[in-house]
Amino acid sequence: MTTPTPPADDSVASNFIRNIIDEDRRLEKWGGRVETRFPPEPNGYLHYGHAKSICLNFGLAQAYGGACHLRFDDTNPAKEDQEYVDAIIEAVQWLGFEWGEHLYFASDYFDKMYAMAEHLIMAGKAYVDSLSADEIRAYRGTLSAPGQDSPYRNRSVAENLELFERMRAGEFADGAHVLRARIDMASPNINLRDPILYRIRHAHHHRTGDRWCIYPMYTFAHPIEDAIEDITHSVCTLEFEDQRPFYDWLLDNLAEGGFFPRPVPRQIEFARLNLSYVVLSKRKLIQLVDEKHVAGWDDPRLPTLVGARRRGFTPEGFRRFTERIGVSKSDAWIDMSVLEDCMREHLNEAAERRVAVLDPIKLIITNYPEGQSERCHAPNHPLHPELGKREMPFSRELWIEREDFMETPVKGYHRLYPGNMARLRYGYVVKCTGCEKDADGNITAVLCEYMPDSKSGTPGADNYKVKGNLHWVSVAHAYATEVRLYDRLFAHPNPGARREGDAEGLERSFLDDINPNSLRTLQAQLEPALRAAKPEERFQFERHGYFVADRIDSQDGAPVFNRTVTLRDTWKR
């Protein structure tokens, strides 16, 4: 696992892609223009990996004063849906990026793509093949053995044109024919052994309805989409590196045919994001949701962007993360703590402080008058005094954390135990006098006396030197609500991977590595100001971490909270 060194300045980090673009601009390719795109297939929700691609593509466009397109690569009718289109639009907007007029759908280009396929046929660069899928696979050869020409490879242009037209007209069943490029069945690059361009698929498309029954393959459609939109730098993940020769072959032939001006778009590959303790594959995410291992696409434990948003992760944190991990050509695993650190850094700046008692036990101040209360004042943000202070009511009975009292203290324990003094933060110094227990011996309340001259912010406050500093909430004023704490969704850094000591042939599933204790729901006592928290408002709960008011389950005046991240890294336990 690698944790890259942060670049000196997050905003101007150089990388190999920027170097390529700088060189292209120096040579005045595309007149110095930079136009990128983020091209999701609308067949699932976006995940943390997509955030890297989004920040990278939109970030490059911003850095060079260009545009980045949001393009839906909706060429496969089977798994695509408007629900996903809407969710993707919302996620990219949430990350803080704008595409202006540049919102595109590959399906809008189906007519143009068809015309380009016809052109390739006429130029002798494509043919209709009538082998079955299995036969095509068998004829393709292997990495070590060349492929074999299909018996249909030398059909005449006229015959190909006619068959292709009849494919489009719906005369054939799925799988009866395909359109293939005519390149080289002996090429050492398997992707150049006459790749399939079109297949018959009698399926309803979420945008074009039943207008088409042939659909372009991704490898054919994608370069054309880029070229139609005048993309300059087509940035994609490494698995497409072997496809680049075909990308170039196709656009070169179409430029030759007058469809596009030169230079055509340039494909550049980078290593995809791999993150420990999560899975970043749509297939696996769909399985987690469908099989109800999580509560839905926006479950805060899921590495989707809707989940991240509910968790309280911030767009700024994702952008910072993308800068920090940089882009490279070699696959690396990034530790989840790197992402969490980026969130912490932003939240430390952005989140106001509040007090919450997550595991409450009552503290009774026996020498404080019953029925009386007074105000204490707590700063909203230690780094931003201009954000002022808020009032916290103080009274005879307070909630404190159960762990802040020990009847018999362990060595080095400075909080409450009989005879010891500690400060109630923003309030008074108290001296513990004992505790109350029920018939079973369980502690039901902690008892103490307060020092009336010790109030924080008054001259007497400094008279007491104490080591413990506890947070508290007045029982009479507290806001009791649900708080959710999350742990890793998986108990292993690389879910489903083989590990040392595994028997030979043992197959692990990523599902076997699900952490059964990834969600803990508490009934907590919060300071009264938190009643007014708006959905998605973020806070640091002192000592407990960063929290967000849940955007779905919060009611007006009755928010519930999710922990975004702890104050320090607890993943390296």
- Annotated catalytic residues are 41, 272, 282
Q: Closest distance between ligand ATP and the C-beta of residue 235, in Å?
A: 7
* Smallest distance, ligand ATP to C-beta of residue 42, A: 8
Query: Which residues in the 79-138 window bind ligand ATP by CB under 6 A?
Result: none
> What dihedral do alpha carbons 128, 134, 138, 141 form, nearest 10°?
70
Phi, psi of 83 (to 5 degrees): -55, -40
Minimum distance of ligand ATP from residue 307's CB (angstroms) = 15
Q: How many CB atoms lie within 10 A of CB 173?
A: 10
What is residue 195's DSSP assignment?
-
Can the peptide bond before residue 303 be classed as cis, meaning omega within 30 degrees of 0?
no
Asked if 498 contacts 272 with a C-beta cutoff of 8 angstroms, the reply is no
- Whole-angstrom Cα Rg for the chain: 31
Distance CA 391, CA 374 (A): 9
Distance CA 524, CA 549 (A): 14
**Cβ-based nearer residue to ligand ATP, 93 or 132:** 93
Q: In this structure, are residues 74 and 81 in contact, taking their beta carbons and an 8 Å threshold?
A: no
Residue 208 interacts with ligand ATP (CB under 6 A)?
no
Of the two residues 51 and 392, which places its CB atom closer to ligand ATP in the complex?
Answer: 51
By beta-carbon proximity to ligand ATP, the closer residue of 62 and 456 is 62
Q: Tell which positions 519-548 bind ligand ATP, by CB under 6 A.
A: none
Give how far the C-alpha of residue 533 lies from the chain's centroid of Cα atoms, to the nearest Å: 25
- State the nearest-atom distance from the C-beta of 237 to ligand ATP, in Å: 4
Q: Binding segment for ligand ATP among 8-16, 37-45, 375-383, 417-425 (CB under 6 A)?
A: 37-45
Q: CB-side exposure of 567: number of CA atoms within 13 Å?
A: 8
Binding map of ligand ATP across residues 454-473, x = CB under 6 A, - = no contact: --------------------
Q: CA–CA separation, 206 vs 433, rounded Å?
A: 70
According to the binding rule CB under 6 A, does residue 273 interact with ligand ATP? yes
Binding to ligand ATP (CB under 6 A) within 47-76 occurs at 49-50, 52-53
The single residue among 155, 180, 193, 282 that binds ligand ATP, judged by CB under 6 A, is 282
Closest to ligand ATP by CB, 85 or 445: 85
Q: Is residue 231 a contact point for ligand ATP (CB under 6 A)?
A: no
Number of residues that bind ligand ATP (CB under 6 A): 13
Catalogue the E-assigned strands of 143-240: 178-181, 196-200, 214-216, 233-237
569 binds ligand ATP (CB under 6 A): no
Q: How far is the CB of 93 from ligand ATP (least distance, A)?
A: 16
Instruction: Tell me which residue has its CB nearest to ligand ATP.
Output: 49
Which structure tokens are listed for 554?
A: 């919060």
3-state secondary structure 388-428: CEEEEEEECEEEEEHHHECCCCCCCCCCECCCCEEEECCCC
Q: Sketch the per residue contact string, 233 through 272, with ligand ATP: x for CB under 6 A, - otherwise.
A: ---xx----------------------------------x
* Token pair belonging to 9: 């300045």
Positions touching ligand ATP (CB under 6 A) are 39-41, 49-50, 52-53, 236-237, 272-273, 280, 282
